[in-house]
Structure 1
Amino acid sequence: MSSTTHFGPSSSTLERDARRIHDDKPVSPGSIAIGVIIGRMSEFFDFFVFGLASVLVFPKLVFPFAPDALTATLYSFAIFSLAFIARPVGSIVFMTVDRWYGRGTKLTIALFVLGGSTASIAFLPGYDVIGVWSIYLLALFRLGQGFALGGAWDGLASLLALNAPENRRGWYAMIPQLGAPIGFALASTLFGYFVANLSSEDFLSWGWRYPFFVAFAINVVALFARLRLVMTREFGTLLEQNELSATPIPEVIRVHGRDILIGAFVPLASFAMFHLVTIFPLGWMNLFGDQPIGTFLAVQVVGAAVGILGIIVSGLLADRIGRRGQLAVCAIIIAIFSFIGPMLLAGGNSGQDAFVIIGFGVLGLSFGQAAGSVSSRFGRAYRYTGAALTSDLSWLIGAGFAPLVALSLSSSFGLPFVGYYLLSGAACTLLALAFNEKLKARDA
């Protein structure tokens, strides 16, 4: 029995009607690109606001009972990791919502949960006020962020890629990735402003809460930008051709389980690097450095700008040497950086600044082509769901625990162990690329 019997017109029916209304208004690739960037920027802004607060706020607000600042930061990073565990669960639940009620309903629910979870953190009382419930609530809201992000997968990046000319695939693939450094730069700018202009007492009392309020407003803007594209004729056509349909997850795993696993390891070098140049160095500097936090956040904003340039360059290079070649070269560069990076971090203020700026440049080159690197192996009907599951697994393995592991290793055994951790990610990427190439040759 159809959903319309019990609930009236379904979201899917309403979406088809909206597309008919917009039949005379075709969307340009530029509009798709802007919508994709806005969507990704809002998601990363939410996550980076939490990540920065995991260093600057939560150790003192939520874990004041910890024996020292290092232990409190490790506790905070453990909460940070919860979102990446919840993300695959969100994908599973919201794929079902997508099939039953349509992409518009799915996105609306997911982004309001994401924005609501983030904004709720702004009202979080500290441990001194409500005791252990402060920890429980922070963990719940963080799980809500990850759960919602799993549902925020909209297929717009796939729409952009499918509209790309054959010789410009690398260029179009890098466009969604621009949202990450933009989101980080906005979050760092906001935190940097309040850190620089408020006393420590005022910042910990109320100043840190404002970026979490801003996150909800950004999510509302992003929701309307993405819904506008979901209602386009191009999206509807690809959906009807099964290019962007939600397929039951057990079926996707049965048909493409091997491709999901390989695809999760292909971008591991880039994803391991992701939090090692954003959240981890801020935590290390806050604990062991002597540079003012506001100044270091400004350096990270400069690093994000370098990362944007690196992502753009990655698109140009990938169209010349291929996406696989681009990822392999960048994995080798990351392996080299794994030996240089720890020495920079140990080199005082100038070395720490160089670590961030150079690291962001390397990250941009790699991250620009990291998404969907093996999505071409998914059958047409499985591409949308398969790409979502692959992305969830990649973030969980590569980035979810990176700040926690890196800080634990470096504080216990020294900074070189951060490099070893990064080197393992580069090795996984190179092995996954080689294995994927063998499978392609065997299946050809």
Structure 2
Amino acid sequence: MAGNAASTSPERDARAINSHHDDGVHPGEIAIGVIIGRTSEYFDFFVYAIASVIVFPQIVFPYLDRLTGTIWSFAIFALAFVARPLGSLIFLAVDRHFGRGIKLTIALFLLGSSTVAVAFLPNYAQIGWVSAAMLCAFRIGQGIALGGAWDGLSSLLAMNAPENRRGWYAMVPQIGAPLGLIVASGLFAYFLSNLSTADFLDWGWRYPFFVAFALNVVALFARLRIVVSPQYEASFDNLELQPSRVTATIRSDGWTIIVGAFAPLASFALFHMVTVFPISWILLFTHQDLATFLLVEIGGAAVCILAMIMSGLLADRFGRRTVLGSSAAAIAVYSGFAPQLLDMGPIGAAGFMFVGFILLGVAFGQSSGAVASGFSPQSRYTGSALTSDLAWLFGAGFAPLAALLLATRVGLIAAGLYLLSGALGTLAALAINKNLARKPD
């Protein structure tokens, strides 16, 4: 960035590519860069999430029963969401002093390094409790890196989108989530189907973590090309994508951050209820084949992409607030009966997954920056980053742990309470934000 420290080598390469395109980077190219970046992040996320259910309870907590081991594994899983705000604080400072390119390079290499480090994790039989301590450290590293991976590209995409296509372009970054799930689930399903249990637990589960590092390198270059584009630098110079100080942002836009964090809670809570929690329930309490169930997840993720596309069309016709509110109400209804389907055999579980993924696609497709327009240009970048961190922490970070604890102690119907609370949070946030919008400045 202008006025900042020297560019990284990847950043200079990205500028060289942009120099051959006199008309700059088009919204379609920004969209591709955003999708690649988000797919890489979510692939990292799902690789770790799946391993939290089928690997870590057996190799890190073998001295505990499977349920207790999974609960502890989910507790470590939540550490990334707790550490993510810290990562934002650290890397926003890096951004201000050294530029967006250097910040992204450091953050994505930290994310890739923390992820690939898990592939070398010794098990409990080798080093005892230190195995769990190392896993905690790697997970915290992932969370800090995710806070630094915030690049503002979703905001840039929205600012460059045609006025009547804002809902469509708001949906585009979210497609990375089901794409990441498809690749991660496919890899684990392949190894589970083709390796013995001993080989899978010895080395097979480690391979997807190596793949994650390679994807991060590709994603880094795709994002840097957008970050050094004329459109991005112009938005940076106009303060729309320039990081403001966290304390100043909280003082000026603290209420908007809080409301924004609660606006997508329904979709974020559902996110883990249909991607992570079902794997734990199927593995612990049913006799269904796990590899086959992962293929069901892949099918659900494909349906989710179609639902996301529909959400973009609906949002441009009826408005994003209407889509978010309607989907939150539908999720509230879903929470009252759907979890019980997991105990009704393969057909019931598939019904739970596919209906859930349809609702997830519609809701999650419009959850990105639900109230970002409420931020002033000077606070938009930092405010959006903090809002995203808090939304993931409140809505998703503890979802698998809370759902499993509620389901095992009270019953599957109780797991829907967590989901219901997210839906009510979204409806309340949308109502509050609508009332605020009516107030004079």
TM-score of the pair, normalised by structure 2: 0.97
Q: Distance in 2 between matches of 1:313 and 1:204?
A: 40
Counterpart selection for 2:347 from 347, 350, 364: 350
Deviations 1:370-397 (A, max 9, x none): 0100000000011011000000000000
Structure 1 residue identity aligned to 2:334: F
Alignment match, 2:126? 129
Structure 1 residue 9: Cα displacement: 3.9
Alignment match, 2:32? 34
What's the secondary structure of 1:175's corresponding residue?
helix
Q: Distance in 2 between matches of 1:124 and 1:3?
A: 41
Structure 1 residue identity aligned to 2:34: V
Alignment match, 1:117? 114
Change in Cα spacing, 1:92 to 1:22, as seen in structure 2 (3 Å) is farther
Q: Distance in 2 between matches of 1:131 and 1:3?
A: 50
TM-score of the pair, normalised by structure 1: 0.96
What's the secondary structure of 1:328's corresponding residue?
helix
Alignment match, 2:187? 190
Q: Distance in 2 between matches of 1:251 and 1:94?
A: 16
Structure 2 residue identity aligned to 1:208: W
Structure-to-structure mapping, 1:270-281, within 5 angstroms: 270-281=267-278
What's the secondary structure of 1:370's corresponding residue?
coil
- Point out the more displaced range, 324-333 or 24-33: 24-33
Alignment match, 2:141? 144
Change in Cα spacing, 1:118 to 1:9, as seen in structure 2 (3 Å) is closer
Q: Does 1:237 align with 2:234?
A: yes
Structure 1 residue 11: Cα displacement: 6.4
Alignment match, 2:407? 410
Contact kept? 1:23, 1:232, Cα under 8 Å: no
Deviations 1:232-288 (A, max 9, x none): 111111111111001110010000000000100010011000000000000000000
Q: Does 1:43 align with 2:50?
A: no
Structure-to-structure mapping, 1:327-406, within 5 angstroms: 327-406=324-403
Q: Which runs of 5+ in 1 are unaligned?
A: none
Alignment match, 2:52? 54
Structure 1 residue 329: Cα displacement: 0.1
What's the secondary structure of 1:380's corresponding residue?
coil
Contact kept? 1:269, 1:334, Cα under 8 Å: yes
Contact kept? 1:290, 1:349, Cα under 8 Å: no
Counterpart selection for 1:102 from 99, 104, 108: 99
Q: Distance in 1 between matches of 2:304 and 2:21?
A: 38
Q: Distance in 2 between matches of 1:25 and 1:217?
A: 31
Deviations 1:182-202 (A, max 9, x none): 001100000000001101110
Counterpart selection for 2:201 from 181, 187, 204: 204
Contact kept? 1:23, 1:233, Cα under 8 Å: no
Q: Distance in 2 between matches of 1:443 and 1:138?
A: 50
Q: Does 1:424 align with 2:432?
A: no
Q: Does 1:313 align with 2:310?
A: yes
- Point out the more displaced range, 343-352 or 270-279: 343-352
Structure 2 residue identity aligned to 1:392: D
Alignment match, 1:324? 321
What's the secondary structure of 2:288's corresponding residue?
coil
Q: Distance in 1 between matches of 2:155 and 2:246?
A: 18
How well do the aligned residues superpose, as a CA RMSD in angstroms?
1.8
Q: Distance in 2 between matches of 1:11 and 1:248?
A: 24
Alignment match, 1:227? 224
Structure 1 residue 442: Cα displacement: 1.3
Contact kept? 1:39, 1:223, Cα under 8 Å: yes
Structure 1 residue identity aligned to 2:57: P
Q: Distance in 1 between matches of 2:69 and 2:181?
A: 23
Structure 1 residue 25: Cα displacement: 4.5
Structure 2 residue identity aligned to 1:26: G
Structure 2 residue identity aligned to 1:230: V
Alignment match, 1:157? 154
Contact kept? 1:63, 1:127, Cα under 8 Å: yes
Structure 2 residue identity aligned to 1:321: F
Contact kept? 2:15, 2:225, Cα under 8 Å: no
What's the secondary structure of 2:337's corresponding residue?
helix
Structure 1 residue 346: Cα displacement: 2.2
Contact kept? 2:62, 2:124, Cα under 8 Å: yes
Alignment match, 1:75? 72
What's the secondary structure of 2:409's corresponding residue?
helix
Deviations 1:327-384 (A, max 9, x none): 0000011011101212311211110111111111110000000010000000001101
Change in Cα spacing, 1:223 to 1:9, as seen in structure 2 (3 Å) is closer
Structure 1 residue 160: Cα displacement: 0.5
Structure 2 residue identity aligned to 1:256: D
Contact kept? 1:41, 1:183, Cα under 8 Å: yes
Q: Distance in 1 between matches of 2:27 and 2:163?
A: 14
Structure 1 residue 23: Cα displacement: 7.0
Q: Does 1:302 align with 2:303?
A: no
Contact kept? 2:337, 2:413, Cα under 8 Å: no
Alignment match, 1:24? 22
Structure 1 residue identity aligned to 2:105: T
Counterpart selection for 2:84 from 66, 79, 87: 87
Aligned length: 438
Q: Distance in 1 between matches of 2:82 and 2:225?
A: 30
Alignment match, 2:246? 249
Counterpart selection for 1:63 from 61, 64, 68: 61
